[in-house]
Amino acid sequence: MGRQVNFFLNKEDQTYFDNLLATWENLVFINDISLDGEVAIISDSLLLNESEDLNFYLARREDLNDIQLKFLPSQYYWYVDSLQSPVIKYSRCYFTDTMIRRGRLWFQPGAYKDSEWIDKNQDFVEWADTIIKKIRRKLKRYKHQKGEYTYSEYVGESTLKWAQENNAEILSGGNELAIEKE
């Protein structure tokens, strides 16, 4: 089973999150697609405009040679095989003034190969687990009441303030944190 942490981050929190990720000396950001079949490193995790892909990967610099790309002929590009590669998938949050879509960090500690479960490198798994645990400790908890149920989500500090000030609700099956439109 994969391991993950889900969260809601607005623009200010994504800057904080990028700085937090940058505290790992050996961490690199990897584009999820490649036009030339080579692993493509990107400079940071910030979402600069709405046309950017929300997904990319975190990897350890020493694991770059172990990242596997698969060719997608119908699109004529390569993509990171996250099941076989030592990577953490980072799905960034999409946000507007009234809504934030959930983001997450996710990785698989192993994969099936020829019907046999193969564990990924233990050093990578420990590194990825450490990142997810630290993210859980650094983000805030937003508790939201819906009927008789209480929901708790990880959010950035700025998102928490926005959510509390606007009485934001968890919607779309837990995929959005939004304020009601009048």
Q: What is the pLDDT of residues 25-67, one digit of tens each?
A: 899 999 999 999 999 998 888 766 666 678 999 999 999 999 9
Specify the pLDDT at position 151.
77
Give 53 or 119, the one with higher predicted confidence.
Answer: 119
The domain ranges of the chain are 3-138
Give CA–CA dist 98/115, Å, rounded. 46
d(CA 29, CA 33): 12
Say if residue 104's pLDDT is above 90. Answer: yes
Output the average pLDDT for the chain. Answer: 90
**pLDDT score recorded for residue 48:** 64
CA distance to 7, 82, 85, 152, 155, per residue, from 141 (Å): 9, 28, 31, 6, 6
Question: Rounded mean pLDDT of 150-169?
Answer: 90
The edge-to-edge listing of strands for the beta sheet with 69-72 is 33-34, 77-80, 69-72
